[in-house]
């Protein structure tokens, strides 16, 4: 991100394919079912995971834009994700589908990303937090 927005980005996240690829190759080489050989949430022939299995990782923190203590807070939050004590999509927010404002989702109940597929599915825009102007 530094090369794109050196003075404005804070951080980002990435999908780490290594746990899946290593597990899948090992399963194939040892004549095992891939979905039964990899730690993650399985939906049919689809599998996904997050911080707890190292499938999601944070990119570097931009020290130029970060407030003091940000790196330590990030590590604390990542630990909470790995321990299952924190959900990405939970809070006192309501999300609205940008294509159908009547389709809303109350995030107080939480939203489990990748509950039914490995592809990201959260498509709501948070009301009162993000405003889209046309």
The 3-class secondary structure across the chain, one letter per residue, is CCCCCCCCCCCCEEECCHHHHHHHHHHHHCCCCHHHHCCCEEECCEEECCHHHCCEEECCCCCCCCCCCHHHHHHHHHHHHHCCCCCCECCCCEEEECCEEEEEEEHHHCECCCCCCCCCCCCCEECCCCCCCC
Q: What is the pLDDT of residues 25-66, one digit of tens each?
A: 999 999 999 988 999 888 877 888 888 899 999 999 999 999
Confidence at residue 88, expressed as pLDDT on a 0 to 100 scale: 82
Q: Which of 7-11, 30-34, 51-55, 130-134 has the lowest mean pLDDT?
A: 130-134
Confidence at residue 130, expressed as pLDDT on a 0 to 100 scale: 58
Is the pLDDT at 94 greater than 80, yes or no? yes
Confidence at residue 120, expressed as pLDDT on a 0 to 100 scale: 76
Q: What is the pLDDT of residues 96-107, one digit of tens each?
A: 998 998 999 999
Confidence at residue 132, expressed as pLDDT on a 0 to 100 scale: 60
Percentage of the chain beyond pLDDT 70 is 96
- pLDDT tier, 131 (very low <50, low <70, confident <90, very high otherwise): low
């Amino acid at each position: 991100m530094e090369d794109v927005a050196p003075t404005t980005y804070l951080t980002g996240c990435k999908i780490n394919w290594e746990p899946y690829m290593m597990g899948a190759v090992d399963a194939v080489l040892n004549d095992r079912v891939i979905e039964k050989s990899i730690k993650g949430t399985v939906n049919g022939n689809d599998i996904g995971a997050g911080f707890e299995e190292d499938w999601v990782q944070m990119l570097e923190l931009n020290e130029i834009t970060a407030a003091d203590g940000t790196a330590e807070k990030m590590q604390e939050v990542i630990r909470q994700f790995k321990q299952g004590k924190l959900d990405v999509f939970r809070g006192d927010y309501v999300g609205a589908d940008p294509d159908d404002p009547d389709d809303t989702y109350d995030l107080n109940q939480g939203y489990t990303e990748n509950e039914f597929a490995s592809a990201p599915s959260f498509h709501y825009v948070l009301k009162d937090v993000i405003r889209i102007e046309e």
